[in-house]
Structure 1
Amino acid sequence: MMKTKKLKLSLVVMLVLSLLLAACSGDKTTGDNAKGKGDKIKLSIWHNYAGDDLRAKAVRKQIDQFEKEHPEVELDKQAIPVDGYRQRLKTVAAANEMPDVFYSYSGSFTEEFYKGNLIQPVSDLWEKKPDWAEKFLPGSKEIFTYDNEVYSAPVGMSATSFLYYNRDLFEKYNVKVPTTWDELMEAIKVFNKNKITPIALGNKATWPAQSSVFGVIADHVTGTEWFMKAIKSDGATFNDPQFIEALNYFKDLVDAKAFQEGANSIDNTQAEQYFVKGNAAMMINGSWAITNLAASSNKEELDKIEVTVVPSIEGGKGKPNTMTGGPGGGFLMSSKVKDKKRELALELMYAISGPEAQKAIAESESLVMYDVDIDESKVSSLYNKAYELVKTVNFAPVYDLYLSSAGGEAINQGLQELMLGGKPKEVAKKLQDAQSKAVK
């Protein structure tokens, strides 16, 4: 009887020990090469291509294709809407919990991740694939380069200030397409008189007024050289008279009722639809509007849309025929990714920015910083018009790509304040205080 009890006790002890060992040797999610189900390597990717537009679908398709071709990877894909994307990244950055691969806007947004040691260079990807690297347009690599190391590759062109206009409405009311500021103000007057909104704007997310409208106006007034000094508080500040003047030009648009009522309470997509349906004569918007409109509008609606640049300002320091933009965002890699996981992360980044991806993005009605042959039958007349235009323009910096995060937020909020009756000098002071503090 005693032997039987001892045997049962031994079996129980062995069972407990085996369960403990099994628990200790189960799935491990820590370390560089985190494993998932079936010993797959876990890899996460975040991006803001969450919409139903052609560009978003093209990028997601490349990610899905990578997943199919790599059964050894357990891919955690998060598509986050544009309006909340920046804040989500800032939140995880503060906790040093970055995704393995993630989309980032070029300029100061990426630079802050670099300064925080949150990302790592991918120069070896450029070196291993020279045939791919040499087809990027000038300036593509430089905007992602820090201390001679490249951290990304652009997956699009960021042209943020096209002046879209409805040809039929201009002809109907006999309005000249504006090439000077005075002609723009006259066009606004005529359309208001005929109960047509002059310029569609959806500024609910706060960035459209700055990125698409104000930035190009400011460059027309101050010139690019002044702005690059002001962001560093190096011989120029946002309290300077020329910047106050630029804010006053934006206020002139507000006072002239250039934008539809409630522009701060509708989003950018709503503004695009408001314009394409003929409710507004013009829209100052980025290249992203092309792919959005192509996905949601019919051929008749698209064919009547023309594109040009925002008129220059007499006496201003900026170059004529200028729009804001340059290389768009790209995908970065967390500094924590290493070994085999890093090799797979590089393959994923190449899948999204390689030749096939660039062609797919271009044919989704989205401009790219890449020399690619496009099947013109796959793109709209609006895309072709925009593509031909960008070949002829000068590019100026987009404000929120070069300002600090605090500075970008200050000007975004400040422009909303101006639209609600705020004062230019107060907006300028808030921007200067935020930017100088960040620089220090």
Structure 2
Amino acid sequence: MLTARRRVAAGAVILAGSLLLTSCGGSDGGSSDGRTLKLWHYEGPTSAMGVAWTEAVKEFEATHPGVKVTYEEKSFEQIQKTAQMVLNSSDAPDVMEYNKGNATAGLLSTQGLLTDLTAEATKRGWDKKLSAGVRTTSRYDAQGVMGSGKWYGVPNYAEYTKVFYNKDLFAKYKIAEPRTLDELTAAMDVFVENKVTPLANAGAEYMAQQYLYQLALSRADRSWVDSYELYQGRTDFHDQAWTYAATTFADWVRKGYLAKTSSGTKAEEAGVSFIRGKAPILFSGSWWYGRFQEEATFDWGSFLWPGSDLTLGSGGNLWVVPEHAKNKELAYDFIDITMSRKIQNLLGNRGGVPVAADPGAVTDPKSKQLIADFNTLSARDGLAFYPDWPVPGFYDVLVSETQKLITGGEQPDAYLDALQKAYDKGVPRR
């Protein structure tokens, strides 16, 4: 998670012509102006990134004798809502995972809360390890628009959304893997007939709005994405794509594909419902892949959203160094270790999408499939970023308005009016 003056291909290049092959960039020790590195991130301990960052911490402490890493677990929501306040105080961490895009990292960069990493990116070779598509979310111009300007973050993995499904439940109800949207819809009808809610959903966080954005993307093209995300033309929320998305989403609630009670559900609860075999289908990001490998006890599979060339995705979340960080050199060293082949290979084999791994070192079959699907998206320029990126505060608007759509408190036309108003208010003058 580009500017309005220049179109940037969204596809990150990974593995087999896509995966960037780089030499290990780990730290050789270095010096520090303190004895502690304060780290914040919100990856689950059994996720691919969580496992990789835990190993990176061990590597860091081994190469920095006497320096300890203090890790503070924060949720995505905690960091999203408190970042500006915390980063503008003496409590700022030294290195932090943060959401990418104009409305998040871009906004903080314009407020002087993030360290300019341009010199370090060149010195340590991060600029060469990352493909053009992945680099998009690293750089922000003076207005906080991604794709050009200074480096304010380093993405250390890539991500995209896909459909995860419980093969055992599909077999129980004699449903074949869907290859088209019609087949997916028919499968959901079978589950509803058997009193099973097909789709895991989280209306209180990002998941619900991503379902809706994917429906819009299935009726959109690259120029539509560029207009929405990069301000290359006016975005009309009553166009064919957005109207189809809102009306179809509301219809899916009425049909029972999405539970009305999911309006208050968090992403973690939705993911756990899939892991426990209660929800047969979950549409979400590759960041769940490693966790499903680790915790799901049933046979499961995944596929790209059928009937759409576009899906949500980008380079992964960013390592950022707060401007008020007390130990910036230590932070740079830690970032460097997460970009090393050792850590990137581990990430790839645990179900992540690495950006700097040795392709021969990624041997897990499911991980290979994950990366192969990403390559398919990359080859067709299919990464369309995320719906909350364009303007500051839009994430909260999408959450609250989509909750109303789930509960029936708002109809599609009013929903689209509300999005239009919030979007138009936030689009910067170019």
Same fold (TM over 0.5): yes
Amino acid at match of 1:342: K
Amino acid at match of 1:418: L
2:370 to 379, 386, 404: 386
Amino acid at match of 1:364: R
Whole-angstrom CA distance in 2 between matches of 1:410 and 1:261: 19
- Determine the structure 1 residue equivalent to 2:402: 415
Whole-angstrom CA distance in 2 between matches of 1:198 and 1:259: 7
1:84 and 2:85 equivalent?
A: no
| Contact 2:345 2:362 survives alignment (8 Å) | no
Stretch deviating more after TM superposition (224-233 or 288-297): 224-233
Query: Equivalent pairs: percent with the same residue?
Result: 21
Amino acid at match of 1:183: E
Higher Rg: 1
- Alpha carbons of 1:374 and 1:214: their partners in 2 closer, same or farther (altered >3 Å)? farther
Whole-angstrom CA distance in 1 between matches of 2:296 and 2:206: 24
Amino acid at match of 2:389: Y
1:220 and 2:189 equivalent?
A: no
1:46 to 40, 44, 67: 40
Whole-angstrom CA distance in 2 between matches of 1:40 and 1:168: 52
Amino acid at match of 2:369: K
Deviation at 1:275, TM superposition (A): 2.6
Matches within 5 A, 1:159-308: 159=160, 161-204=161-204, 206-211=205-210, 213-231=211-229, 232=231, 234-260=233-259, 262-298=261-297, 301=298, 304-308=299-303
1:403 to 390, 401, 422: 390
- Alpha carbons of 1:275 and 1:343: their partners in 2 closer, same or farther (altered >3 Å)? closer
Amino acid at match of 1:84: Q
Greater RCO (CA < 8 Å, at least 6 residues apart)? 2
Whole-angstrom CA distance in 2 between matches of 1:71 and 1:296: 35
Whole-angstrom CA distance in 2 between matches of 1:94 and 1:333: 12
- Determine the structure 2 residue equivalent to 1:7: none
Whole-angstrom CA distance in 2 between matches of 1:273 and 1:92: 30
1:349 and 2:335 equivalent?
A: yes
Whole-angstrom CA distance in 1 between matches of 2:47 and 2:220: 35
Deviation track 1:175-229 (CA, whole Å, cap 9, x = no partner) reads 343333333222211221123332222334x211123x12221111233422432
What is the Cα-based RMSD across aligned positions, in Å? 2.8
2:124 to 103, 113, 129: 129
Whole-angstrom CA distance in 2 between matches of 1:142 and 1:327: 8
- Determine the structure 2 residue equivalent to 1:3: none
| Contact 1:106 1:401 survives alignment (8 Å) | no
1:113 to 99, 108, 124: 108
| Contact 2:84 2:113 survives alignment (8 Å) | no
Deviation track 1:320-344 (CA, whole Å, cap 9, x = no partner) reads 3432102011211223458xx4333
| Contact 2:158 2:316 survives alignment (8 Å) | yes
Structure 2 alignment gaps of length 5 or more: 1-31, 142-148
State the aligned residue count.
384
- Alpha carbons of 1:52 and 1:198: their partners in 2 closer, same or farther (altered >3 Å)? same
SS of the aligned residue for 2:312 comes to: strand
- Determine the structure 1 residue equivalent to 2:347: 361
SS of the aligned residue for 1:396 comes to: coil
1:59 and 2:53 equivalent?
A: yes
| Contact 2:339 2:356 survives alignment (8 Å) | no
Whole-angstrom CA distance in 2 between matches of 1:239 and 1:322: 20
Deviation track 1:4-32 (CA, whole Å, cap 9, x = no partner) reads xxxxxxxxxxxxxxxxxxxxxxxxxxxxx
Deviation at 1:78, TM superposition (A): 1.9
| Contact 1:208 1:285 survives alignment (8 Å) | yes
Whole-angstrom CA distance in 1 between matches of 2:40 and 2:274: 31
Matches within 5 A, 1:301-320: 301=298, 304-312=299-307, 320=308
Amino acid at match of 1:214: L
| Higher share of residues assigned helix | 1
1:70 and 2:64 equivalent?
A: yes
| Contact 1:275 1:281 survives alignment (8 Å) | yes
Whole-angstrom CA distance in 2 between matches of 1:400 and 1:95: 30
Amino acid at match of 1:388: A
Deviation track 1:311-363 (CA, whole Å, cap 9, x = no partner) reads 22xxxxxxx3432102011211223458xx43332112212233222122222
Whole-angstrom CA distance in 2 between matches of 1:392 and 1:47: 29
- Alpha carbons of 1:412 and 1:372: their partners in 2 closer, same or farther (altered >3 Å)? farther
- Alpha carbons of 1:102 and 1:254: their partners in 2 closer, same or farther (altered >3 Å)? same
| Contact 1:198 1:282 survives alignment (8 Å) | yes
| Contact 2:153 2:318 survives alignment (8 Å) | yes
- Determine the structure 1 residue equivalent to 2:321: 333
Amino acid at match of 2:285: G
- Alpha carbons of 1:96 and 1:428: their partners in 2 closer, same or farther (altered >3 Å)? farther
Deviation at 1:42, TM superposition (A): 5.2
Deviation at 1:62, TM superposition (A): 1.0
Amino acid at match of 1:202: A
| Contact 2:156 2:339 survives alignment (8 Å) | yes
- Determine the structure 1 residue equivalent to 2:98: 104
